Amino acid sequence: MKLFALLKIISLIICTLLAYSMYAVGLLFIKMSGKHYERWRNQIMRFWGKASARILSMKVEVEGTPPSPPFFLVSNHLSYIDIPMYASVLDTTFISKAEVKDWPVMGFMARTLGIIFVDRSKKRDLTRVNKEISEQLNERQGVVLFPEGMTSPGNGVLRFRPPLLEHPAREEIEVCYSAIRYETTTGDVPAHHSVCWWGGTPLHTHMFRLASNRNITVQIKFGEERINLNDRKLLAEKLHDRVKSIFIPVVDKEQKEFEPLKF
């Protein structure tokens, strides 16, 4: 299984580099022609997401109707693997923490893919981020936000942080919602330890643990309702209630090593 996990990780790295190389070449011609790049990016991201799922033995099950662009969607957040899983079923960009753009290789890729970065430690950065959200929300792509502000073991849905909902609240945009969860098979490491990424586990250690699983079921459930409120705090509370109502916990007990953000 260790050798099998290593082969999966190598395959995932090769697939990622291949997909990005295809994207970069296409992007060069698109920039020269003056056309929009989002549809090309969406095709590459969808290919990468589906290929990543296949390599990691992940079966994606979708319940409900994925929204079409333009859309603003919020979801709970369990792992870095949430990104390719959502990319496999949606035409979208993502809002990510600012630290990601400084990651070696992956940070550069994320910047050129149009990911929106936010520095949550700087309140003034939210003005720039909300402006960027308004510019990137168009008929070619949606925007996915993980308003919990961190990942968790999946024993519940953490409180949503209202500031990044300022734009949809102010512009009275209808917000979609969804919930994602993971489940491993008998004999594999439980999903809250091997798929959900939390507790300070180094990325390379977690990736090896993730790849060691024989089968993983990914469940993405989209809510049918769209929420429209002009108060960001009320919007955050209502969206949290809706996501919580459709989320099935990954694990049914508290993890002592995990401490949610205080805010």
Q: What order of strands is seen across the sheet that includes strand 216-222?
A: 58-63, 216-222, 175-184, 72-75, 142-145, 92-97, 116-118
Residue 69's beta-bridge partner residues? none
Contact 106, 55 (CB under 8 A): no
Its CATH class, for the domain covering 2-246, is: alpha beta
Contact 9, 81 (CB under 8 A): no
One-character DSSP codes across 159-223: PPPGGGGHHHHHTT--EEEEEEEEEEPTTSPPHHHHTS--TT--HHHHHHHHHT-S-EEEEEEE-
How far is the C-alpha of 47 from the C-alpha of 44, rounded, in Å? 5
How far is the C-alpha of 226 from the C-alpha of 211, rounded, in Å? 36
Pairing of strands 116-118, 58-63: unpaired
Per DSSP, the three-state class of 226 is: coil
Cα 261 to chain centroid, rounded: 19
Instruction: Tell me how crowded residue 250 is: count the other CB atoms within 10 A of its CB.
Output: 24
How far is the C-alpha of 152 from the C-alpha of 179, rounded, in Å? 13
Model-level pTM?
Answer: 0.93
How do the domains of the chain map onto residue ranges? Answer: 2-246
pLDDT tens string, the chain, 263 residues long: the values are 789 999 999 999 999 999 999 999 999 999 999 999 999 999 999 999 999 999 999 999 999 999 999 999 999 999 999 999 999 999 999 998 888 888 888 889 999 999 999 887 777 777 888 888 888 899 999 999 999 989 999 999 999 999 889 889 998 999 999 999 999 999 999 999 999 999 888 999 999 999 999 999 999 999 999 999 999 999 999 999 999 999 999 987 766 566 655 54
Per DSSP, the three-state class of 97 is: strand
